[in-house]
Amino acid sequence: MNIILCSLYYETKRVTGANKRFDYFGKTLLEQKDISLTVIVRAGENPDWTSNVITLPRYDNIPASIRRVLYCFHLTYIFLKSKGVIINDFMPVPLWFSNKNKYFQLVHDIRNFTDYNRAVLKKIASYIQRAQWKNVPNILTVSHFTKKQLVEYCNINPNKISVSYNGIEVTTREHKQRDIDFLYIATYEKRKNHINLVQAFSEYIKHINSNASLYLVGRDLGYRQSIEKLVVELGLMDSVVFIETITEEELKDIYERTYCFVSPSFYEGFGMPIIEAMYFGCNVACSNIEVFKEIAEEHAFYFEPNDVKSILYGMHLARSSENNNVNNISYVESKFTWDSITAAFLGLVGK
């Protein structure tokens, strides 16, 4: 079976959920018998796990809107000539679809239909996305929550939407000394809700443990300065650690040193750090939102993300519980490994 895995958003030096899905899903596909895999990325972003790569020009000096159109033409031409299965996360979607292949548009979330729309043209962007998603033959998304939203917000036929969870890389856990009280991995943007987390952490410092630490890992999308300002105002400079760039090995080390992973996000399509944290034995405290309850089920402590006291209480419960919960780890291993996710996808496409 020929499979094309395409992401023009992929960046080799950035640790994100979307990039991890591309890497680990691709590597696991390569391990399967009778699979021929081709990946499509931008120039300079070749993954180190395959040599069968099509690279498209970066067009960095061209306005983003024109660049997107050029990529749309590139991909339309490539996909029309291709036979097999295509998984593509780039938008705009191809102009035409061929009967020679089975096309899946990968959708991580539909934030452009929420208050957290980052698109420049907002309503116009969401209108275009809706029209394109309705036009594609198949959609692959990462949670039943996002599938439900695609049906409700975009009137997509549920029969053409398949769910393929994100997963974890099975690795050796070293059970290091845990010296980080709280960890949050998220880009600095409004929906990630760093403000309420820092305020709750300040209360934790005042009333529970004055020596506690909070590590914030992620790149800035416009909100980091306001978070740093709040940290200074609350006198938390010695307690809050900011990390922007990180390797997979460094991230693994931090998970293994962390007591509690906390995620106060208002909106997500999945939430990969939650299952990664559980896999490395961290306790999890997270927002009481539908997608987190779908992926973590009873294996997390839930709080209301708009309520600082509720966040504080969830953090306290998670931090005071024992780590390396066998039930949590077994749950992740039974549901979120790339081997099982890949096998389910191949079953979907008839292999």
Question: What is the set of domains in the chain, with CATH numbers?
Answer: 2-167+336-348 (3.40.50.2000), 180-335 (3.40.50.2000)
Percent share of the chain, pLDDT over 90: 89
Chain segment 117-174, per-residue pLDDT in tens: 766 556 777 888 899 999 999 999 999 999 999 999 999 999 999 999 999 999 988 8
At residue 174, the pLDDT reads 87
Q: What is the pTM of this model?
A: 0.93
φ, ψ (nearest 5 deg) of residue 120: -65, -40
At residue 121, the pLDDT reads 59
What is the rounded average pLDDT of the residues 59-70? 93
Strands of the sheet with 84-88, listed across from one edge: 53-56, 36-42, 2-6, 84-88, 101-107, 139-141, 161-163
Write the DSSP string, 96-144.
---TTEEEEEEE---GGGSTT---TTTHHHHHHHHHHHHHSS-EEES-H
Using CA atoms, how far apart are residues 296 and 304, in angstroms rounded to an integer? Answer: 16
Using CA atoms, how far apart are residues 219 and 14, in angstroms rounded to an integer? Answer: 9
Using CA atoms, how far apart are residues 135 and 117, in angstroms rounded to an integer? Answer: 22
Is residue 72 within 8 A of residue 92, CB to CB? The reply is yes
Looking at every residue in the chain, the average pLDDT score rounds to: 95
pLDDT, greater one: 270 or 64: 270
At residue 311, the pLDDT reads 98
Percent share of the chain, pLDDT over 70: 98
Q: What share of the chain is helix, strand, coil (3-state, %, to 5)?
A: 40, 20, 40
Residues with Cβ < 8 Å from 156, sequence gap 6 or more? Answer: 133, 134, 139, 150
At residue 118, the pLDDT reads 63
Using CA atoms, how far apart are residues 341 and 207, in angstroms rounded to an integer? Answer: 43
At residue 221, the pLDDT reads 92
Using CA atoms, how far apart are residues 307 and 329, in angstroms rounded to an integer? Answer: 29
At residue 120, the pLDDT reads 54
Give Rg (Cα) of the chain.
21
SS (H, E, C) 139-183: EEECCHHHHHHHHHHHCCCHHHEEECCCCECCCCCCCCCCCEEEE
Is residue 277 within 8 A of residue 178, CB to CB? The reply is no
Residues with Cβ < 8 Å from 283, sequence gap 6 or more? Answer: 259, 260, 261, 301, 318, 319, 321, 323, 325, 328
Chain segment 215-262, per-residue pLDDT in tens: 999 999 999 999 999 999 999 999 999 999 898 899 999 999 999 999
Six-digit token pair at 335? 């549901």
Using CA atoms, how far apart are residues 123 and 180, in angstroms rounded to an integer? Answer: 42
Residues with Cβ < 8 Å from 38, sequence gap 6 or more? Answer: 2, 3, 4, 5, 52, 53, 54
At residue 122, the pLDDT reads 61
- For residue 167, give the nearest of 348, 334, 349 by alpha carbon: 334
The DSSP element (H or E) to which 284 belongs, if any, is strand 283-287
Using CA atoms, how far apart are residues 165 and 163, in angstroms rounded to an integer? Answer: 6
Pairing of strands 139-141, 101-107: parallel
